[in-house]
Structure 1
Amino acid sequence: MMIEYVRYQSLAPDEHGRFKGVFGLVNNLGRAGALTAEQEEFRRVNNAWYDAAYTDPSTVDATVYDPAVNPGAAAWFKPSATHLFERIDGYLEILAAHGVAVRQVRSVDPGRVVYEDDVQIVVVPHAG
């Protein structure tokens, strides 16, 4: 049985050629002061919930997102992480309100796995 991993990311790459994930995109808006008070409250509360619900891979391996070691590394949800999908819509609504386009990407082989736990993988994408 093939596992299909899921990621929500920007439509266009950033200045480094990476497709930012949904959390990074909303956090960038928050750091820029672009969110309404309600949106900022959602971001704060839900980021704290996600921080409590799953491991930040960089706390296990500081090099996991290091561009010299793992260029383009990106996190993907495992399909079994349904409890983590429940709050994604709120992030997508914030991005839509700010005109930030995102898409859901699915893949059975998104890249070389450099980190894995029970709810996610971090991969270096395949070349090409």
Structure 2
Amino acid sequence: MPAAERFVRFRSPRPNSHGVRVGVFALTNGLARSGALSAAEHERWRRGNAWFEAAYADPTLTDPAAYDRAANPGAVAWFRAGASGLIARTALYTELLDAHGVPWERVETDDPGRVVFEDAVQVIAVPWTPAP
């Protein structure tokens, strides 16, 4: 039997009002939208987002319903553990969160839930059970 594939997620340690532990991209986007980032941090964040947008396809362009709350409640993205370049680039976001005292955690699993989208580097999955 082949070894189970591992998945990695960087997220808030606490669920939001929808019961979802949002990922570090959303957390960092919140800092940027609120004006909390310095000019240098904002530029770093902007360049990081541009890199990700150029390097990886947006799943919602392929499947607009991937994050639909009615069809896929609680759906979240997980990186494939083998996507080391993607995972390494996430440090930009965790460093910005650390600098602003925003808590985050790294979690790993071999069963992210019901997969509703997948590509070479990530999956979007609905958890089997609601987040605590």
- Verify same fold: TM over 0.5: yes
* 1:76-95 mapped onto 2 (5 Å cutoff): 76-95=78-97
Which one of 21, 35, 38 corresponds to residue 37 of structure 2?
A: 35
**Offset, 1:26:** 0.2
Q: 2-side partners of 1:102 and 1:121: how far apart?
A: 20
Alpha-carbon distance between aligned partners in 2 of 1:115 and 1:87, rounded to the nearest angstrom: 22
Which letter maps to 2:116?
A: V
Distance 1:125 1:53 in 2: 27
Secondary structure of the 2:95 match is helix
Q: CA deviation at 1:86?
A: 2.0
1:27: how far off?
Answer: 0.5
Aligned residues: 128
1:20 matched residue in structure 2: 22
Conserved 8 A contact 2:48-2:92: no
What is the TM-score of this pair, normalised by structure 1? 0.96
Alpha-carbon distance between aligned partners in 2 of 1:54 and 1:124, rounded to the nearest angstrom: 21
- Which 10-residue stretch deviates more, 79-88 or 66-75? 79-88
Deviations 1:73-97 (A, max 9, x none): 0000001211112221121111011
Runs of 4+ in 1 over 6 A off after TM superposition: none
- RMSD value over aligned CA atoms? 0.9
User: Aligned partners of 1:87, 1:41: CA distance in 2, in Å?
Assistant: 15
* Stretches of structure 1 lacking an aligned partner (at least 5 in a row): none
* Alignment-derived partner of residue 110 in structure 1: 112
Out of 55, 59, 62, the residue aligned to residue 61 of structure 2 is 59
Structure 2: gaps spanning 5 or more residues:
none
